[in-house]
Structure 1
Amino acid sequence: MKFSRIAAAVTTAALAPAVLIASPAFADGPGAPDAGHQPATTTPDQSVPDQAEEDRKTILAIIAHPMASEYMKEAGHKAIADGPQAMRKFIEVDQHKIRLDDYRIAISRLTADAGPGLKEGINKLLSGKHDIDMLRHFYEVTQYELRDDDNRVEISRLIGTGGPAVKEAGKKALKGTPADRAQFLKTGRFLAQASDDRVELSRIDESWDGPILSEAIGKLLNGSPTPAELRHFLEVTQYELRDQDNRVAIAKIIDGGGPELVKAGRAALAGTAADRTEFLKTGQHEARAKDQAAKDKPTPGKDGQDQGNGSGSGAAATGNTATTAQGHTGAPLATTGAGDGTTLIAGGAGTALVAGAGLLLAARMRRAGAQR
């Protein structure tokens, strides 16, 4: 019995502190958490963040950014795979170096569709000293300011060369916002140009006589052409159809024409479109004039004289010399048009006749004297 009492006393003394600590009075003491919210004694405190997990989330956010290049993404995934130290180094050092290169590359690519002002700004930035903040500001702000300046210049040029609809829409865009100007250059200019092109096609149709081009214009305008189709017709197709009409016109002109007209027309048909246009403008008239001049020129007769000139009168024909015997009736001695040789022969014959008559007279006088 003595030993049992001693054991009970020892057990009571050992359990007394645990009972006091667990009692409601102790639990409700100052600074104690509310009932039911006591921290579990078997799990660690979750309010302390795990640095490696936070770094992983940070890297994932960096490589998800729109400006992140493929190289940035590759380097980020590698850092995550390599562990906490690699992730820390990526966040503190590597990402900034890669981002600097990414901005340089992105800004360089802007030159593909940049105007003169933006290209100048890009070259000035990249050729001088710059840091990440300067690159970011240029990419996010400055490039749009320079692009709008270029847009203003381009719109002013279009107003100076465009038709009424382009001028009106361009002036409206200049008074608007940068977005209005960008939209005009992207789509508005083409819609306005289409309106002007329709007017121009109608004017061409009214002034052109060829059936092929006129028929094509009517078919185009009565359909639903796009701005690009209208522009292509004006810049390319109309000239092809004009040339077809010109070929038909030249073929009609030379049909039954004179030699020079036929010759010039065939040369034009075998030549270029410009040759055919020139023939219709001036060449055909020059060829007709040559044919008319040849028709009006006198043609030689069978005996070598020009037909249509009188040969029975005493007047000499063109190119010939009519000779009349001295002391006779005046009839011409030679009218064959044989030239100076014939004239000399005729003159000699006349002289011989005169000499013969003198001798005959002298003989008669001698006979009369003898009879006396």
Structure 2
Amino acid sequence: MSRIAAAITVSALAPAVFLSSPAFATGEEPAAPAGPTAPTAPDQPASVQPPAEQPAAVQPPAEQPGDSQAEQDRKTILAIIADPMASEYMKEAGRKAIAAGPAAMRKFIETDQHVIRRDDYRVLITRLANDAGPALKDGIKQIMRSDATLEQLRHFYEVTQHELRDEDNQVDISRMVNGAGPNLKEGAKKALKGTPADRIEFLKTGQHHLRDQDNRIEIAQIIDGGGPELVKAGVAALNGTPADRAEFLKTGQHEARAKDKKAQEDKEKEKEKEKPTPTPTPTPTAPGTTPGSGSTPGNTAVTPQGGSGGHLATTGAGNTAWIAGGAGTALVAGAGVLLAARMRRAGSSR
């Protein structure tokens, strides 16, 4: 009965309490009750700092010793076979070692790779002889005949071969100076005083450019005053390539000279054919001789008649003969006069 009385009392008082609330008085609806708030953590004191290191739980777990060594060996082998200097044999042996497992990889790293690398260097050094000069060839023979170690072979390939090659380059450049043109001589002297790289560049490109300049000068001097064929071939070489100019100096100029010589000989032969046949000069005859009688001037002496003497020839070699004949006649006449005088004196004395 007490509970029923309490319920009746609450029911009677509820409207009065509701009408007297502020929300009802202003005409606003009551707001929906908010949900329960989550409990908040108590504030940390200002003096407490977060830990500097991560908890040990976030660190990766340590690997097993066996797995770590095998993985490291695999990476080492991959680096070895990726080297540009690695041969195909080295690459194949490395891949086989990786496939064979940890023991094979360890053996490849400790032993096999060094044996293979030594053989590779010997092959590389042998190939250097293809374009080597005398000094480098001699060095290659010496290193290949010796029981050189891997380090010695590597040093020869990376250092010694370049030193020996430079010696050969200096010898080649020095030989070019002999008989070279002015431009090539000047360039060769500069290269000899420069660095090994300067000498390599000179032999590779510089000597050809400078030699071609000298060839141009020499060709111009050759065709100056030359024959038609020589001039024609020389001009064509000057307008051509460096190879054309070198070929002209080697063989072309001689072929052109031969053509000019033959043309000159043919021209002289034609001139000889065009000359008129010369008329033979008549042979002079002595006075008193008949042409065609077979007598020759100077061989016939004419004896003067009655002491008056004969008419002597005055030309050619006959002068001497006529003079001699006249002198003989005079002597004969004088002897006759003397003989006649003696005969008259003898007759008168009788």
The TM-score, its normalising length taken from structure 1, stands at: 0.57
1:308 aligns with 2:283: yes
Shift of residue 190, structure 1, vs aligned partner = 0.9
Instruction: Report the Cα distance in structure 2 between the residues aligned to 1:313 and 1:129, rounded to whole angstroms.
Output: 116
1:237 aligns with 2:237: no
Distance 1:311 1:181, change over 3 A: same
Distance 1:229 1:65, change over 3 A: farther
What's the counterpart of residue 73 of structure 1?
A: 91
What amino acid is aligned across from residue 82 of structure 1 in structure 2? A
Instruction: Report the Cα distance in structure 2 between the residues aligned to 1:311 and 1:61, rounded to whole angstroms.
Output: 123
Shift of residue 195, structure 1, vs aligned partner = 1.0
What amino acid is aligned across from residue 182 of structure 2 in structure 1? P
Q: CA offsets, 1:5-48, max 9 Å, x none?
A: xxxxxxxxxxxxxxxxxxxxxxxxxx99634x5148xx853596
SS at match of 1:257: helix
Counterpart of 1:216 (choices 217, 224, 233) is 233
Alignment of 1:346-357 (within 5 A): none
Instruction: Report the Cα distance in structure 2 between the residues aligned to 1:242 and 1:74, rounded to whole angstroms.
Output: 65
SS at match of 1:129: coil
What's the counterpart of residue 153 of structure 2?
A: 135
Instruction: Report the Cα distance in structure 2 between the residues aligned to 1:65 and 1:213, rounded to whole angstroms.
Output: 59
What amino acid is aligned across from residue 61 of structure 1 in structure 2? A
Distance 1:235 1:86, change over 3 A: same
What amino acid is aligned across from residue 86 of structure 1 in structure 2? A
What's the counterpart of residue 216 of structure 2?
A: 198
Distance 1:230 1:316, change over 3 A: same
Shift of residue 244, structure 1, vs aligned partner = 3.1
What's the counterpart of residue 270 of structure 2?
A: 255
Percent sequence identity over aligned pairs:
48
User: Which structure 2 segments of 5+ residues have no match?
Assistant: 1-50, 303-350
Q: How many residues align?
A: 248
Question: Which has more radius of gyration?
Answer: 2
Shift of residue 211, structure 1, vs aligned partner = 1.7
Distance 1:34 1:57, change over 3 A: closer
SS at match of 1:68: coil
Shift of residue 90, structure 1, vs aligned partner = 1.8
What amino acid is aligned across from residue 178 of structure 1 in structure 2? P
Distance 1:83 1:248, change over 3 A: farther
What's the counterpart of residue 331 of structure 2?
A: none
What amino acid is aligned across from residue 217 of structure 1 in structure 2? G
Q: CA offsets, 1:307-328, max 9 Å, x none?
A: 736488558349xx9999xxxx
What's the counterpart of residue 359 of structure 1?
A: none
User: Which structure 1 segments of 5+ residues have no match?
Assistant: 1-30, 259-294, 300-305, 325-372
Instruction: Report the Cα distance in structure 2 between the residues aligned to 1:61 and 1:233, rounded to whole angstroms.
Output: 56
Alignment of 1:1-372 (within 5 A): 34-35=54-55, 38-39=57-58, 44-46=61-63, 50-208=68-226, 210-221=227-238, 223=239, 225-257=240-272, 308=283, 310=285, 316-317=295-296
| 105-114 vs 73-82, which moves further | 73-82
What amino acid is aligned across from residue 308 of structure 1 in structure 2? T
Instruction: Report the Cα distance in structure 2 between the residues aligned to 1:32 and 1:156, rounded to whole angstroms.
Output: 74
Distance 1:159 1:82, change over 3 A: same
Distance 1:80 1:312, change over 3 A: farther
The TM-score, its normalising length taken from structure 2, stands at: 0.60
SS at match of 2:147: coil
Could you list the runs of 4 or more consecutive aligned residues of structure 1 that deviate by over 6 angstroms after TM superposition?
A: 321-324
What amino acid is aligned across from residue 247 of structure 1 in structure 2? K
Q: CA offsets, 1:187-237, max 9 Å, x none?
A: 1111110111110011011031x223312322443x4x4433322232233
What's the counterpart of residue 23 of structure 1?
A: none
Shift of residue 169, structure 1, vs aligned partner = 0.5
